[in-house]
Chains A and B, each alone.
Chain A
Amino acid sequence: MPSLIGSVTGKSLKRGASMNNNPKSNRRLLRSLEPYLWLTPAMILFAVFTFYPFLETIYKSFFIVNALGNLKRFVWFENYTYILKDKLFVKAVVNTLWYTVLTVPISKVFGMLLALLANKRRRTSAFYEAAFAVPMAMASSVTAMIFQLLYVPSLGFLNGFFGWNVQWLNNPKIAMISIAVIQIWLSTGYAFIFMLSAVRSVPHDVIESARLDGASGFRQLTKIYVPLTSPTMFYLIITDLAFSMMMMSLVNVLTDGGPQNSTITIMQYIYKQISATGNYTNANPAAIIAFILTLAASMLGFLWEKKGVHYQ
């Protein structure tokens, strides 16, 4: 192990000098094993709770599995073709994509606008910066409970205050939009705090010279702020894509996938398969499809990175 010597030799030589050969080579062995020992707890946990389940899910997705999770029969891709023909699963995929399209771009645009608004430090900025960011510390289940109250159809605050008569969570056409509103509220704060630091790191002289050239506010936005903050925006979109594709908590608390399955998501579908019927045969391929979709979405993101993201 030649690589070890750099930092360790001095020590082992000092020790070795006073001992005979055998303990010295034992010590050597221990030394070369040492980095692995430091890594052991992390690697064991990754193996047990990430790599093993990942491979197991792929493997099991090719089998008929009974309610106890035992393999019954190898069926190749039959499980996949089965759930892809399952109307409920297709609905779940479409809903999840719709939800992603609703939440990811809007929360990022809001985050950017808030960041531009708060860009310059002013006397009261500590207050509103904190307020813009606070939703990111909120749990989705707690937030769901608050919005459930705001969304009560007959006497709830939103309908009562504005004199509307919207069936927020009971109308199949708008239930998913109502859920998306909650998520937009939750993730705008996160986008804001990232965009704020990105916007603030745009060099002053760039802005100043653009201003002297008579660039309008809008031109400064499109020609300077948007390109120079695009790496952060890219990161936000990639992470949020993965996150939205896995959404289930809001739906689970508020609608349980209803009305008329208009809010069922892929994760909700998986959860229902195992919790209601113990149907692992459908749950495993569904999880893999969810993973592939997430990966595909990230790939699209990376494609966009090549074109639109400017690293300095």
Chain B
Amino acid sequence: MKTKKLWDVFVQLFSTLLALVILFPILYAFSVSLMEQKAVLAKPPNLLPPKVTFENYVIAFTRTTLWRYMLNSFIVALICSISRMVIATMAAFAFSFFEFRGKWFLFALTLSTIMIPPDVLIVSNFTTISRAGLINTYLGVCSIFLVSATNIFLLRQHFLTFAKSLKEAAYVDGCENIRFFTRILLPVSKPILTTVFLSSFVSVWNQYVWPMLVTNKNELRTIQVGITMLKDRDSSIFGPVMAGVIVALIPTVLLFLMFQRRIVAGMMTGAVKE
């Protein structure tokens, strides 16, 4: 019994140590964001700031357009998550509560979009967006993220667990489809809708390639694109950049830590074969 307890303590110590090693890049970035310029690339390297300063954050927010990047990312992530949530709910509603011609074909079509990596399409999508004059607009940045087949699939699986009887009961009470949708289905699905919203927010917030492609004006860049332009590749002024890095990762990491279970549940559907 005693060796078992000792083993338990050992495993926990080891795991905690390992956790710190894994977190190291984030912790180090935070530490550097509080360092003076001369302490960043010193010999021997500093783990902790010799003297704590908030100068880097001041520089990041006043001398660069960091706040604008953050605002852009918030707007884009918000528009896309809301759109994904609304459109996926509507589609899942059709797929789970109606019988109609072509249902399986349309559902297969929806799932097939998962098999096509969006990156393969960026050349063509870029042409579409630039022809539509949407370069350097929020709509252009959002365009390809407005719908997600995995969200539709997730919500459909969830709606199917409601017995059709729920809908039939609602009809007996004289409830229209629209009312059934807004008054009954949406309220009881709040947890799963939160999941869709949060996982979309995190994933859209972290997008890099497409937002970079469709913006070339500084005021419209998202944080993920902007952050890489705070310094050029050969400069060694890392302090303000790390301040920006910390600011950029706080929203998603915080959301993730607060709603880990929710977000993970959203990503896991489809992972395990039924």
- Could you list which residues of chain A lie within 8 angstroms of chain B, going by C-beta atoms? 1, 3-4, 6-8, 10-11, 14, 32, 34-36, 38-39, 41-43, 45-46, 48-54, 56-57, 60, 69, 114, 117-118, 120, 122-125, 127-128, 130-150, 152, 154-157, 160-161, 185, 188-189, 193-194, 197, 231-232, 235-236, 242-243, 245-246, 248-249, 252-254, 256, 267, 270-271, 274-275, 280, 283-284, 287-288, 290-291, 294-295, 298, 311
Contacts and interface: CB of A to CB of B under 8 A. Distances in A.
Contact of A287 (B88, B120, B241): B120
B119 A246 contact: yes
Contact of B253 (A50, A137, A161, A311): A137
B16 A127 contact: yes
A6 B119 contact: no
Interface in B57-76: none
A7 B171 contact: yes
A291 B227 CA distance: 30
Interface residues of B, number: 100
B272 A231 contact: yes
B27 to A, nearest CB: 10
Contacts of B227: 141-142, 145
B32 to A, nearest CB: 7
Given A39-B91, A42-B147, A138-B206, A157 B45 contact: yes
Contacts of B104: none
A69 B121 contact: no
B158 to A, nearest CB: 16
B100 A149 contact: no
Contacts of B28: 146, 149-150, 157
Contact of B94 (A35, A160, A283): A35
Given A10-B171, A140-B206, A157-B28, A117 B271 contact: no
Contact of A149 (B29, B99, B248, B272): B29
Contacts of A148: 233
Given A125-B12, A141-B227, A235-B272, 17 more contacts: A4-B100, A7-B167, A34-B98, A54-B124, A117-B15, A117-B18, A137-B202, A137-B206, A137-B256, A146-B25, A150-B28, A155-B42, A160-B44, A160-B45, A256-B233, A287-B120, A290-B117
Interface of B: 8, 11-12, 14-16, 18-20, 22-23, 25-26, 28-29, 32, 40-45, 86-88, 90-91, 93-95, 97-101, 103, 106, 109-110, 113, 115-128, 131, 143-144, 146-147, 149, 152, 164, 167-168, 171-172, 174, 177, 202, 205-209, 212-213, 224-225, 227-228, 233, 236, 238, 241-242, 245, 248-249, 252-253, 255-257, 260, 264, 268, 270-273
Nearest to B224: A141
A122 B174 contact: no
B172 A10 contact: yes
14 contacts: A6-B99, A122-B15, A128-B16, A133-B260, A137-B206, A137-B256, A137-B257, A139-B248, A145-B228, A156-B41, A235-B270, A248-B209, A254-B233, A290-B117
